[in-house]
A and B are shown apart, each in its own frame.
Chain A
């Protein structure tokens, strides 16, 4: 039976280092939550504490209403998929899958194993040894082994990082699909932002052992709160300006001798006339035109410095009075094809950019 998870001010200290710093987090029953962060951010340590392999230095962990902080891993009933899979090399695929069932003295082991192999689309491979399987197949065996005993929560530690890009995309979809069919709570750790965005119900961004921001993939991508999040999730331009005027939800600032307007989220603190302000602007939210736009959007003239073709779109760098700005232009829609040295106009809506805090 799937369960919810709750971390209450969890910390982990290694000597002087604080690997995880007072993290509180709730994972709803049946949710797919991703812990995303650069390497060394503490996300894996956090997962290992949820799994029970690492004891937190402070704080409590709850599964549903039960406090499991002191419970050893084998009594938590969580499935875990390790980086590198950790399949038992001296056992066949079927024996690997049967391992958790035999420990629980489940009857009808063979039937369960066959059913699970069907679910992960590896029917008939039960007799093979792990070394005889491809990376993608090993990955599915690891997944099947972690799910076969109906764990309360499935923990995944960068399970796709060893696979090539195409295989990874396929398995991402399968994993997503499996999650929806089984309804198990998934906690997924990755450093790959695309993976996090495409798979999760909720993404938790971790840096320096702390939660930086959490939310749905869409909310995180469109409304990052800090420079770190905007930079880590996708690409972003940063404009450092100075506040000129403030009226209600609208902010006027100037940068590089130009004046721009900005829609503000309510409750953005520390904004006052004369103060510095950091604006994040996604490359795909900028419109390039040959003539000066007629509407009242923010506008800026510039010269194309470089163009790189990336299949789905062009990635253009434009030299402007406020510095180099990157712009993504969709390719293949009959729109303008940017060429180096061309002089053109950049424009964006005041609601398209976001005010950021300049911190990790």
Chain B
């Protein structure tokens, strides 16, 4: 009797799943496999495309830029996220709600809108430069955009919620009596933080850090707009190969490399935390 119901329920589940699975296979997995396939076949079969990872200066420069920007972004976003999460847990509940709301509010805006907003603020005839010149603080506009500074600023802005919220969840699990307990045992506030709170929040820092780094690697819109073609990261470079130079072999090779790197990082992340929890499945 029970097995019957289970089999019927199972059939319903599979029927419901069929449509999304079909769509996913047709429009996502199939093109993706083509990309992977192209990377080892175009223009001629073999690993010639992948050799360029070691031989091409241009590609190595792009990868280095990408890794550097992502690392700086991750460190800054983690730092800010840590402060926000810590503050949210140590203020009154009303202020905590407002703080978390503000963090989320930013992430509800489209990435495109945010990039244009930064442009408006930062460009040489933008709001900030105009003010500074009018106030007489500077004579020539500061270069705050179309360079690495602008890219990092835009990316950190986007990434702070992704750093703050997992850290907040992690810190919420830390017994608030531990720091007073450490102080009662003779630790100064700094010692109590360094020896008790920081180690307790380390798993959160590691998982948020890897998560932010992975997200940063694939950034396209923000670097393209705020980098203005001068600071080029890997996603923009891939788009360039596919759309403009039609060097599909090189483009797909870089896409494949990016994909494998991200899988590698996710595997690393899985060593520290339950991935299903990070992505909210559990």
Contact = CB atoms under 8 A, between A and B. Distances in A.
A88 B187 contact: no
A73 interface: yes
A272 to B, nearest CB: 52
B229 interface: no
A79 B186 CA distance: 9
Interface stretch (B114-122, B174-182, B269-277): B174-182
Contact of A100 (B175, B178, B186, B188): B186
Given A74-B188, A103-B191, A86 B178 contact: yes
B186 to A, nearest CB: 4
Given A84-B177, A88-B178, A103-B191, A79 B196 contact: no
Interface in B187-227: 187-189, 191, 195-196, 199-200
Contacts of B180: 53, 73, 80, 82, 86
Contacts of B189: 72
A252 to B, nearest CB: 55
A267 interface: no
B184 interface: yes
Contacts of B191: 103
A74 B182 CA distance: 8
A103 B186 contact: yes
Interface string A49-72: 001010000000000000000001
A148 to B, nearest CB: 9
A145 B200 contact: no
Interface in A144-159: 145-146, 149, 155
Interface string A74-99: 10011110111011111000000001
B185 A149 contact: yes
Contacts of A166: none
Q: Which of B175, B181, B182, B187 has its CB near the most chain A CB atoms (within 10 A)?
A: B181
B22 to A, nearest CB: 46
B52 interface: no
Which range contains the number of B residues in contact with the other chain?
10 to 19
A221 B188 CA distance: 42
A82 B177 contact: yes
Nearest to B188: A74
B200 A90 contact: yes
A80 B184 contact: yes
Contacts of A155: 184
B184 A79 contact: yes
Given A88-B196, A89-B200, A90-B199, A82 B181 contact: yes
A333 interface: no
Q: Which of A83, A100, A149 has its CB near the most chain B CB atoms (within 10 A)?
A: A100
Contact of A84 (B175, B186, B195): B175
A34 B192 CA distance: 29
A145 B182 CA distance: 10
Nearest to A90: B199
Nearest to B195: A99
Contacts of B181: 80, 82, 86-88
A104 interface: yes
Interface string A297-313: 00000000000000000
B200 A51 contact: no
Interface in A173-193: none
Contacts of A88: 178, 181-182, 196
Nearest to B178: A86
Contacts of B200: 89-90
A163 to B, nearest CB: 17
B11 to A, nearest CB: 43
Q: Which of B180, B184, B188 has its CB near the most chain A CB atoms (within 10 A)?
A: B184
Nearest to A102: B195
Contacts of B175: 84, 86, 89
A138 to B, nearest CB: 12
Interface string A1-39: 000000000000000000000000000000000000000
Contacts of B187: 74, 99, 103
B184 A73 contact: yes
B272 to A, nearest CB: 14
Contacts of A104: 186
B183 A103 contact: no
A66 to B, nearest CB: 17
Contacts of B184: 51, 53, 73-74, 78-80, 146, 155
Interface in A79-130: 79-80, 82-84, 86-90, 99-100, 103-104
Interface of B: 175, 177-178, 180-189, 191, 195-196, 199-200
Given A86-B181, A88-B181, A99-B182, 18 more contacts: A51-B184, A53-B180, A53-B184, A72-B183, A73-B180, A73-B184, A74-B183, A74-B184, A82-B177, A82-B180, A84-B175, A86-B177, A88-B182, A99-B187, A100-B185, A100-B186, A103-B185, A103-B187
14 contacts: A72-B183, A73-B184, A79-B184, A82-B181, A84-B175, A86-B175, A86-B178, A88-B181, A90-B199, A99-B187, A99-B195, A103-B186, A103-B191, A155-B184
